[in-house]
Structure 1
Amino acid sequence: MARGPFGYAVIDVETTGLASRRHDRVIEIGVVHLTPAGEVTGEWTTLVNPERDLGPQHIHGVSAADVRHAPTFADVAGTVIELLRGRVVVAHNLPFDVGFVAQEFARLGAAAPLRRDLGVCTMAEAIRYLPQAPRSLAACCAMADIPLNGHHDALIDARACASLLRHYLDLASPADPWRDLLHTAVRTPWPHLPPTGAPWVRRGVSADRDGHFLARIVDRLPRVPHPAAADSYLALLDQVLLDHHISASEADALVTLATDLGLSREDLNRLHHDYLAALAEAALADGVVTVAERRELDLVATLLDLSSTAVDEALTRSRDEKVPAVQRFRLAPGDLIVFTGEMDGGRDAWEARARQAGYVPHPTVTKKVRLLVAADPDTLSGKARKARAYGLPIVTPDAFSCMIG
């Protein structure tokens, strides 16, 4: 990307919330470079790992599965400085965006010259150039006939803001309304933080990098797994499949355990068939496989990448032979349950449902806790990190709702 020392740097950030000076963090940043005349010369964007939960994901749409691949702000701070140095910083609601970026630099002990009087706020300038427009970026773009598809994506919003600035410059021509700011920006010193070369990460990276977890198992000569190894793997598999979903973090855990136990692809294929057969045996315990039970068996087979005939084979096997027992995860009255993340209806409502079902909501994760319910099962929150360290199951609110019937 071009990094000329003269012009504008339009930025937009997505964040975990609104409180930059407390605990909220930047999770995505987009930068677009413009010449003094408003011509685009380059752009850059990356997700940022905030090392905490992602806040209102229904607004920004960033997934923890993607963020787990992303650099921290410390990793990209030097690059951000090079992108902003010598340029007038522009944003729609400038105090919000520069406030968050400045706070990220402050956490690193660096004082970045990100102030309202040194930048241009396209929202504030709309009073002069779009006097009839509401304040939001979407409304200003609509008034200026600027497309905005994919709002709350940092680079898309930065591009829209850059187009809005170009629109203002065209309306102001031949005057140059921010000429003094452009000259001041060239002389303004920035802290020195060398770029680390950390690769930038875009949304959707998990879909590109995280294939089925079995593809990451190193093939070895087939062998019969040691019973203890089989039991350990099947116990983790049962926890992972509690919510009928294998999250990116859970896939990592399965791969790590299988590798540590020395299990091959052939071993895992056999264990997955054993697990499916154990589920089939449980479904047949009353002599009838209901539609819901069959649906669950089919879903588990799909998640484990088994063939389309695997369920019928498992049902036949469970009728004709004794299948290996699998210790299933079960909650018991009085079990401690922790909730994390922003959930539909609010966390208090979910804790009330847990109490009604006979369980005890707990504020923190300890070794006595039995289950973590997370709005995003790949969440990077401190609770989730501790739950993974303790080997506790992590399920979504929907899955927990099914568990309590």
Structure 2
Amino acid sequence: MLRTDDALGYAVIDVETTGLRPSRHDRVIEVGIVHLDPAGAITGEWTTLVNPERDLGPQHIHGITAADVRHAPAFGEIAGSVANLLRGRIVSAHNLPFDLRFVTHEFGRLGMTTPLSDDHGVCTMSWAAHFLPDAPRTLPGCCAMADIPLNGHHDALIDARAAAELLRHYITRTGTVTPWHHLFTIASKASWGQISDTGAAWVRRGVSAERDSHFLSRILDRMPRVTQPAADSYLALLDQALIDHHISASEADALVELASDLGLQRADAERLHLDYLTALAQAALADGVVTDAERQELHLVTTLLGLPPEHADQALEQASKETHPAIARFTLEPGDLVVFTGEMDGDRQTWEARARQAGYVPHSNITKKVRLLIAADPDSLSGKARKARSYGIPIVTPDSFARMITQVGRTSPRSK
């Protein structure tokens, strides 16, 4: 038997998934792993989102967004890292069979086998009957009984931490030798084979907010250059100041100082502010539609530039006259085909009934004849969403669709 001093310890794992059955194409979308030494002390933790290349399932439960997941690695890119984190350790989880079934299936999709087995791991849910006989089976219930905090349930790392604390609670109550001590020997001899580690970066929730620049900064990158060198310098500094949608006192001082250095008068600066706002409006109109968010940004910039509020709408009007003909608005007509995808608030049948009542025809698949896709997450990675984008079919949220069918003219915020 392997001595406790020689054992690596435990790897407590939790996965968030698109559903409950990997055999029905459900996938892992987040992994959390916590290491404990044989005595139960936490020695490390890791987590990442995983791109399943499909829709994310019940997002109202796990709270993971497609905007974040599109930055995440596929399981194949982290398989080597996961294998290395589990190798040589007793694997533990709350409802171990569930997590191992999904992890094993993900490796299997890559043509890889693993030594993972329910019999060779520690399920904190099963052992709760011994250590917490009055506790319910759920992770929150067991944690509450053991006085372990659990804030943020259904986040893989948070749940893995909670399960790790639960395992440590069990270890401290067993004395010197745990009932599963023999599993250290099995874990040390288990063969994982050669699974290469690609070194792919692991990605946490919230990555889209960190990596996706605000649309205002992207619009500014597309703004036409003003030919006068003085105007270029002033507008470049103005761009920089407005990236965070706020002009600080020091930024205001810098703009005043630069205007003075360039010999700009107040009237010159006001004209440049109007030029800037008009260019911003032109960029917003580049795709043929101004979203509510873009309009709100224009009004915010108008205020920051010290211009009267009506200048925002005037800039849009001027930009549309100068650079665009009348905008063709997207409309739905009676008999148009619409498709729903993802798990929404309310069942699919209810949404389809609402569509029929409004005169539209719910369809099961995306074809070129479909006019609109309604998705629980407009950034959805589902096959329907990808196909809709390739066909140029607009994608809206259920809330947006609900507004569309109640508005006169049934207009959408997206263009043809």
Q: Name the CA distance, whole Å, in 2 between partners of 1:18 and 1:38.
A: 30
CA contact (8 A) 2:335 2:361 kept: yes
The one-letter amino acid of 1:30's match is G
Partner residue of 2:180? 178
* 2: CA distance, partners of 1:278 / 1:336: 22
**RMSD (Å) for aligned C-alpha atoms:** 2.8
Q: Secondary structure at the match of 1:159?
A: helix
Query: Deviation of residue 89 (structure 1)?
Result: 0.4
Q: Do the aligned partners of residues 303 and 357 (structure 1) sit closer, same or farther apart at CA in structure 2, a change above 3 Å counting?
A: farther
Determine if contact 2:374/2:395 at 8 Å carries over to the other structure: yes
Letter aligned with residue 105 of structure 1: F
Give 2:398's aligned residue.
Answer: 397
CA distance in 2 between counterparts of 1:102 and 1:322 reads: 56
Match for residue 129 of structure 1?
131
Match for residue 240 of structure 1? Answer: none
Whether 1:151 and 2:153 are equivalent positions in the alignment is yes
Instruction: Provide the secondary structure at the position in 2 that maps to 1:70.
Output: coil
Structure of higher CA gyration radius: 2
C-alpha contact (below 8 Å) 1:277/1:314 kept by paired residues:
no
TM-aligned CA deviation for residue 317 of structure 1: 7.1
**Secondary structure of the equivalent of 1:307?**
helix
Post-superposition offset of 1:56? 0.4
**Where does residue 269 of structure 1 map in the other structure?**
280
When residues 277 and 76 of structure 1 are mapped into structure 2, their CA distance, relative to the original with a 3 A threshold, is closer
Q: Judge conservation of contact 1:340–1:372 (CA < 8 Å) in 2.
A: yes
Cα displacement string for residues 339-370 of structure 1 (whole angstroms, at most 9, x for unaligned residues): 10011111111111111111111111111111
Residues 279 and 319 of structure 2 are in contact (CA less than 8 Å); yes or no, is this contact kept in structure 1?
A: no
Is the aligned partner of 1:211 residue 2:213? yes
Distance 1:380 1:317, change over 3 A: closer
User: 2:32 & 2:9 partners in 1: Cα distance?
Assistant: 16
Q: Which residue of 2 aligns with 1:222?
A: 225
What is the percentage of aligned positions where both structures have the same residue? 61
Equivalent residues of 1:223, 1:267 under 8 A apart: no
Following superposition, the deviation at residue 45 of structure 1 comes to: 0.5
2:336 paired with 1:335: yes
Alpha-carbon distance in 2 for matches of 1:80, 1:325: 54
Amino acid at match of 1:269: L
Query: Could you give the per-residue CA deviations for residues 72-125 of structure 1, whole angstroms, max 9, x where no partner exists?
Result: 000000000000010010000000001100000010011111111110000000
CA gap of 1:396–1:165, structure 2 versus 1, over 3 A, is: same
Alpha carbons 1:301, 1:307 under 8 Å: kept:
no
**Does 1:302 find its partner at 2:307?**
no
Matches within 5 A, 1:191-270: 191-216=193-218, 218=221, 222=225, 269-270=280-281
Matches within 5 A, 1:334-353: 334-353=335-354
Cα distance in structure 1, aligned partners of 2:140 and 2:10: 21
Match among 101, 110, 115 for residue 113 of structure 1: 115
What is aligned with 2:310? 312
**2:400 match: secondary structure:** helix
- CA separation in 2, counterparts of 1:320 and 1:213? 21
In structure 2, what is the Cα distance between the partners aligned to 1:77 and 1:201? 14
- Partners of 1:321 and 1:34 lie apart in 2 by 61
Look up the match of 1:358. Answer: 359
Q: Give, in angstroms, the shift of residue 315 of structure 1.
A: 4.8
Q: Distance in 2 between matches of 1:194 and 1:319?
A: 57
Are 1:222 and 1:266, in contact at CA under 8 Å, matched by a contact in 2?
no
1:59-74 mapped onto 2 (5 Å cutoff): 59-74=61-76
Name structure 2 gaps, 5 residues minimum: 1-5, 228-275, 407-416
Runs of 4+ in 1 over 3 A off after TM superposition: 216-221, 265-268, 272-279, 303-306, 308-311, 314-324
SS of the aligned residue for 2:35 comes to strand
Can you list the C-alpha shifts for 1:285-333, whole angstroms capped at 9, x where unaligned?
A: xxxxxxxxxxx97x54125675246862255579999944111111111
Aligned-pair distance for 1:391? Answer: 1.3
Q: Which whole-Å CA distance do the structure 1 matches of 2:289 and 2:389 have between them? A: 26
Normalised TM-score (structure 2): 0.77
Q: Which residue of 2 aligns with 1:387?
A: 388
Counterpart CA distance in 2 for 1:87 and 1:50 is 26
SS in 2 for 1:28: strand
1-structure distance, mates of 2:289, 2:376: 30
Letter in 1 for 2:152: G
Q: TM-score, normalised by structure 1?
A: 0.79
Q: Distance in 2 between matches of 1:169 and 1:340?
A: 45
**How far apart are the structure 1 equivalents of 2:57 and 2:289?**
38
Aligned residue pairs total 345
- TM-aligned CA distance change 1:306 to 1:334, over 3 Å: farther
Code of the aligned partner of 1:335: D
Which ranges of structure 1 fall in alignment gaps of 5 or more residues? 225-264, 280-295
